[in-house]
Amino acid sequence: MRLRPFRLDDLQTLYEIDQACFVPGISYTRQELAAFIGHSRSQTWIAEDGDRIVGFLIASTEPRKILHIVTIDVLESWRRRRVGTLLMDAAEDWARDRDLRMMGLETAQDNLEAQKFYMSRGYRKVHEIRGYYADGTTAWVMVKDLAL
């Protein structure tokens, strides 16, 4: 397992992974993913096993020294095999290296597995946003203070 930067020819695979990981209304369109990845303040990490992409994370720096996790996607067959941990470690280390003070993300209210994963990493729920996702699903905003 290794992490590497995004390459242009990864986009279709990332789109397919996102569609497999999230239901319509929560998953992103190909154009949305391309926009997030291509933004000047974004960083994307790719998790590979051999030459197969098994997960990815897109993050964007925000005002007030915050790194916002746009999405973290891991193929179902690769979950609970440390792929998510490697991706989150990379993003958090990257943020600390740039003296960012906080990490933030949104996760679906009913995605208890993700919430448990984030809480085990020191994230806490700070705000509920009703109807956050296009399908009407409520989200939790979760944050982690990097200074701790």
Q: Which domains does the chain have, with CATH numbers?
A: 2-145 (3.40.630.30)
> For the CA atoms of 46, 98, 93, 63, what is the dihedral angle to 10 degrees?
-70
Give the DSSP per-residue string, 64-95.
Answer: TTEEEEEEEEE-GGGTTTTHHHHHHHHHHHHH
Contact 48, 5 (CB under 8 A): no
How far is it, in rounded angstroms, from Cα 101 to Cα 95? 8
User: What pLDDT is stored for residue 134 in this prediction?
Assistant: 86
User: What pLDDT is stored for residue 118 in this prediction?
Assistant: 97
User: What pLDDT is stored for residue 148 in this prediction?
Assistant: 64
What pTM did the predictor assign?
0.94
User: What pLDDT is stored for residue 135 in this prediction?
Assistant: 86
pLDDT by residue for the chain (148 residues), tens digit each? 999 999 999 999 999 999 999 888 889 999 999 999 999 999 999 999 999 999 999 999 998 899 999 999 999 999 999 999 999 999 999 999 999 999 999 999 999 999 999 999 999 999 999 999 888 899 999 999 998 6
